[in-house]
Amino acid sequence: MAPSAATPTRLPAATTLLTAAAAAAVLLLPGEARADGGTAASLVSRENAIQNATLWMPPGARITSTDCTEMLIDSSPRYVCTVEWGPADQ
């Protein structure tokens, strides 16, 4: 069966790269949980990456440090932040 005009036979290279970059970013978004901190990424903002990284912070803990990196992928910013936390009495 021949492809119809409504069905493209191949995606342009830019669309393929954008799809791959979005898939890689989604893999980073949930982040990494640790007993004393978390790491997460965001396509939106640095603040959003920090918020995502604190999703696993236990109740009563306080943030002790934040380290963020901004990367440009296909001219779009990506923010990756690591947040460390400790007991509230530290």
The residues of the chain scoring below 70 in pLDDT are 1-35, 90
Q: How far apart are CA 60 and CA 75, in angstroms?
A: 39
Residue pLDDT, tens place only, 18-30 = 444 444 444 444 4
Range 58-80 burial, b when 16+ CB lie within 10 A, else e: eeebeeeebebeeeeeeeeebbb
Q: What is the pLDDT of residue 90?
A: 55
Helix or strand holding residue 52 (H, E): helix 46-53
CB distance 33 to 84 below 8 Å: no
pTM over 0.85: no
